[in-house]
Amino acid sequence: MPDRPISPAETSPRSPLLSVVVPVLNEQDNVAPLVAEIRAALAPVCAPFGGYEIVYVDDGSTDRTAAVLDELRAGMPELRVVRHSRRAGQSAGLRSGVTAARGRLVATLDGDRQNDPADIPRLLKVWQDADAAGRRRVMVTGHRVNRRDSWAKRRASVVANAIRRALLGDDNPDTGCSLKLYERDLFLRMPYFDHMHRYLPALAQREGATVEVVPVNHRARESGRSKYNNLGRALVGIPDLIGVIWLIRRAPRGLDVHEVE
């Protein structure tokens, strides 16, 4: 199937409640096992709510990731694939996937299988309880309480989270956890920039959302290689943090908007 631009206006007879968005880069050995885990976790939960879909975003992979996705897609109508012409980064992959999503809700997770899809129903339940209580704009984020990363990576994350929480006041213990669930419209309201995925809780609060934190499982990487290092995160993190502080300070406050009937 030829590649084509993604339009937010695309419609489909399928309107699932939930779209699972998975950005990937060179994860050929993790694609099939993760898709199987997502299907096992969501098939019994989402059936009463219009089903679900899985949106993989291939961020310019150079291994067999694209081929594996094409093979799987041939027999899975719930699997959709978005492909970047070149590597653009995780935030770009996230935005492409959310833009293409057809569900009212979006759940996101990393493609390296360190996030556990079995946790998605727990996040969904927290959102459903908030929705039933009449709370609007809720983001549910995972907190990796038992991280299976190297000591250096865990330590760098603790320091970065402490600095971010002190400066942004988002009170989130693990903003780097990719396992999140929120309304598609909430994400599309946020200002887009490279590396925005590291600041989603603060950006959600900027849009008037409430952020709920749920402890989630975390697993060691079994295949493939990490695409990031601590130094790289730190170098891009400083200007990004300054930019997010500016965005929060420039957000309109106390503005009530409603349609006149």
Domain assignment present for residue 234? The answer is yes
**Angle at 215 (CA atoms; ends 210, 217), nearest 5 degrees:** 135
Domain assignment present for residue 152? The answer is yes
Domains in the chain, number? 1
Q: Which two tokens stand for residue 151?
A: 């000591």
Backbone angles phi, psi at 20, to 5 degrees: -95, 115
Q: What is the CATH number of the domain that holds 35?
A: 3.90.550.10
All residues at 6 or more sequence positions from 176 whose CB lies less than 8 Å from its CB, including other chains: 157, 160, 161, 198
Q: Residue 80: is it exposed, middle or buried by C-beta count within 10 angstroms (0-12/13-18/19+)?
A: buried
Domain assignment present for residue 56? The answer is yes
pTM exceeds 0.75, yes or no: yes
pLDDT tens track of the chain, all 261 residues?
A: 444 444 443 434 468 999 999 999 999 999 999 999 999 999 999 887 789 999 999 999 999 999 999 999 999 999 999 999 999 999 999 999 999 999 999 999 999 999 999 999 999 999 999 999 988 899 999 999 887 666 566 666 666 767 777 778 787 888 889 999 999 999 999 999 999 999 999 999 999 999 999 999 999 888 766 655 545 555 567 788 889 988 988 887 777 777 888
CA distance 190 to 201: 11
Give the structural domain span for 141: 18-221+228-249
Which residue's structure tokens are 């952020």? 211
Domain assignment present for residue 206? The answer is yes
Domain assignment present for residue 37? The answer is yes
CA distance 66 to 74: 13
Give the residue among 12, 72, 18 at the shortest CA–CA distance from 45.
18
Domain assignment present for residue 13? The answer is no
Domain assignment present for residue 255? The answer is no
